[in-house]
Amino acid sequence: MTNMGWIFRSATELAEAIASRKVSSEEVVREHLHRIDVANPALNAVVARLDDEALADAQRADDELTSGKRRGPLHGVPVTLKESLSMAGKVTSCGSQLLQQNVTPESATAVARLRAAGAIPIGRTNVPDMGMDAQTHNLVWGTTRNPWNHALTCGGSSGGEAAAIASGMSPLGLGSDVAGSIRIPASFCGILGLKPTQNRVSIAGHVPLVLSDYLQIGPLARSIDDLELALRIIAGPDGKQSLIPPVPLPPSSEVRAKELRIGIINGNGTTPISHAVDDGLARTALAAVDAGHHVEPADIPGVEDVLPCLSRIYGVALSALCRNVRHNPERYHPYLTQLEELFGAPTAREVEESYRLREELRARMMACFARHDLLICPQVTIPAFPIGTTWNEVDLDGATVPLVSTLVYSFLVNVTGNPSLAIPTGLSDGMPIGVQIVGRMWDEPTILAAARPLLDALGGVPAPPKLS
């Protein structure tokens, strides 16, 4: 790390160094662009580079500091953005061949707010075709690989973003999460990913704009401070999405993060969990005890109900996409054909039952938080799996299981709307393992406050062994 200049520093640290004139924004941006030159060919994480614009913006940021102007808390700091987030005047395609002419006239709210805070986008990162997979691959840009093992997936759908941050191409980025799409790749790549409370952040400008009851935009980073800073920047009403309430977001420093009641969910026999992930849960539980918290087993009865609940509702919301895939399969990545078969066409009675299950799951989650301040549970029940794994089968400690069954806890917080932070717990067989810390609705500050000492106790955010 000492030989890499300003690479692998946090966005918060970079912002302070630029503001104090220890380093210029131009120097920091150039170093990160060079890092993309070095690391991206093997990973294919950044699919649209913004070099000329970024360098011009960095020079402008330095000139502004000279004249005493600072745009905001990320003034001059390079960031990357998931390609499904609109940028004004750019093609925003979500990796789809059918959207290669989709020039978006304005930026997504979250992107615009990050830029208004002084951040400088240096690249846009890869996504699955239409953003619906736990891997990152499409017919436009190809496959993104995991920085820890290039034969394994980086996760999805914010997989390009997670791979870029994990490999030092960017200190901070934005992704989106409709069924684990921030937290799955964060876990697989060994970084941090925050899915805010549903409707905490406007999703205006996301492509495609579907499943608004579940979709949320949030930050990925290697620092808790960076996540909190980014969330404060992008959260709140924007006058475009009507369901964003003006809920306060107090600093996590105001939270008393001692003696919390923390429930540990490890499947309780209903959802198989790999030994690697179970060990990560155990390490996190011990760290929480050492930090002075009250830790005990917890359970959400019938958590497996999220699978029929979500898949049927998705089947309705994505019916037009499924029809297009069925009629023009050559225009879409093959995984979407598998997904179309998985969703099927639910009956009206099945849809009605799914909405009933959704409300039951939300009530069960609220009942769980009547007993606990935080929950710690699996993110994905397995480590990163080989690129090309189908939705029909994946390996779980020697047993073949449907991939969807390993994502129960990823789906859970999209169904209930709770905020959730993916946090690394260490390595297993050379690969990072992540779990998630789930909080009450609108209570991201408690998650972040508790996560800081836990992350330190678990060894922090690891850097991949091959940095060149």
Q: The tokens of 415 are what?
A: 């169904």
Ramachandran category for residue 48: left, alpha or beta (phi over 0 → left; psi -120 to 50 → alpha): beta
**H/E run at residue 324:** helix 319-327
Pick the closest to residue 393 from 338, 430, 337 (CA basis): 338
Q: Tell me how many helices (H) and strands (E) the chain has.
A: 14, 19
d(CA 203, CA 210): 10
d(CA 398, CA 400): 7
d(CA 336, CA 321): 9
Q: The tokens of 22 are what?
A: 């220890």
| Phi and psi angles of residue 426, each rounded to the nearest 5 degrees, phi first | 125, -165
Within the chain, what is the greatest distance between any pair of CA atoms? 65
195 is catalytic: no
Task: State the catalytic residue, choosing from 107, 181, 252, 410.
Answer: 181
Total residue length of the chain: 468
Task: State the catalytic residue, choosing from 157, 167, 202, 410.
Answer: 157
User: Is the link from the previous residue into 208 a cis peptide, with omega within 30 of 0?
Assistant: yes
Task: State the catalytic residue, choosing from 10, 25, 82, 96.
Answer: 82
311 is catalytic: no
- Would you say the C-alpha torsion 170, 6, 252, 188 has a positive or negative sign? positive
CA atoms within 13 A on the CB side of 444: 29
82 is catalytic: yes
Position 415: which residue type? Answer: V
d(CA 418, CA 405): 20
Q: Are 329 and 381 in contact, with CB atoms under 8 Å apart?
A: no
Q: Are 462 and 425 in contact, with CB atoms under 8 Å apart?
A: no
**H/E run at residue 219:** strand 216-221
Cα torsion through 442, 222, 117, 125, rounded to 10: -100
Pick the closest to residue 199 from 250, 244, 237, 246 (CA basis): 244
Q: The tokens of 129 are what?
A: 């075709």
Which residues are tagged catalytic?
Answer: 82, 157, 181
